[in-house]
Structure 1
Amino acid sequence: MEFQDYRHLGFTTLQNGLIAYYPKLNISDPGFITLIQLEAFSQKGGDFPTNEKIAANTNMTANQVASVIQQLINQDLIIIDQTQDGQGKIGNKYNLAPLYRKLDKVLEKEIVPQATTSSQYIGSSTYLENNPLNSLTRKFEIEFGRYLSPIEREEIAAWLNVDHYSDKIIELALREAVLSQVYNLKYVDRILLNWQRRNLKTVEEIQTYLQRNK
């Protein structure tokens, strides 16, 4: 197939602010994937896709999709509206308006003018490209072969913001855990603490230490 053939499948328009800031709305990665699917179905006219249809486009089961959707409802991010067609037939549709109202509030706080005389903004595009938490989360999920839980994301955020480990040092610790075939954050944390106790503060110092102890 060529690109022209893929175009017939259509495209889904997704707000870049949602891509960049969904963690600030406490949306899990499975929740984000589910929201993408709901948007894709909605933009193609499918306002109430079944859990089975959503699951078919993801790595989740229908039961997992149902659980994620219930979580999104509990978080007041989506609601189910009742509809009625021209023949009076009652149906349902997913309504994502609450999600975007909450996103608006986040964007009001996060996106600020770069300068009072400039129309350019420091916003979602910069955050999406440079946010170390998002980047690290993706790398952990690739190596672990699964989605991280919100608690695990918080632990990575604490390494960055509380312990002040650099993202490159965290990546090194992840690599050491993978080489040891241990795929959990507790092991990565022990590696980081070991380096801290040895007063290894830079990537170069850690690499020298690792070479010396091979």
Structure 2
Amino acid sequence: MKKEQFIQFMEEGNLSVPKYLLNNYVNLGLNEKEFILLLHVHSFVESGIIFPTPMEIADKMTIDPSECMEILRHLLQKGYVSISDEMDEYSIKYERYSLQPLWEKMITYMMDQNKQTTQSMNQQQEMNLYTVFEQEFGRPLSPFECESLNMWMDQDHHDPTIIKAALREAVISGKLNFRYIDRILFEWKKNGIKTINQANDYGKKFRKNQQKPTPIPQNKSSNSTVPFYNWLD
């Protein structure tokens, strides 16, 4: 390669295309011809040719200008590309292609996929949560208990891991019932408990306080002391 050819090659620059678009253009409703055509439009615009003709685009592909025009028309109708009217510094109107509709579709699809992934993970966590509760209780949960679980997650916005931690506290305390677990969750939320470590630390302190004896004042007529244990529920 001669020096002049290499310089020309470098001056042509590079075309930046999101890898996410490359991997998902079919999911966005595009076929190969449509996708490649859009890439050529993007390349033209990037190089300063903001409104390439169908002939100029077709010259880069294996299609003729008439087929290129038909594909462009379809892409415009389906909202993958747009033509905007703009005005230069001399108040002369001109047209240009914009791939903003394509980027918007890609971002919307990406957000929908993330939302579906999150929903799927939440559903899996919920299923695991029901399984853990049924294993600890040794029986299927009642409709009321299932509703309580749903309320903890949907209305109180407790994380499933925190709910499992509250279940563990109830097991340790020997009070395996939903009312007691609800009380634990209420106390944790009131005290800003949001992580497993915080919940474990709070549980240890609570159990430690339960074990502290509260002595009854001595009777004046007796020198003996009878300790009284205030077991907190």
Q: TM-score, normalised by structure 2?
A: 0.45
User: How high is the TM-score relative to the length of structure 1?
Assistant: 0.49
Query: Which structure carries more relative contact order (alpha carbon 8 Å, separation 6+)?
Result: 1
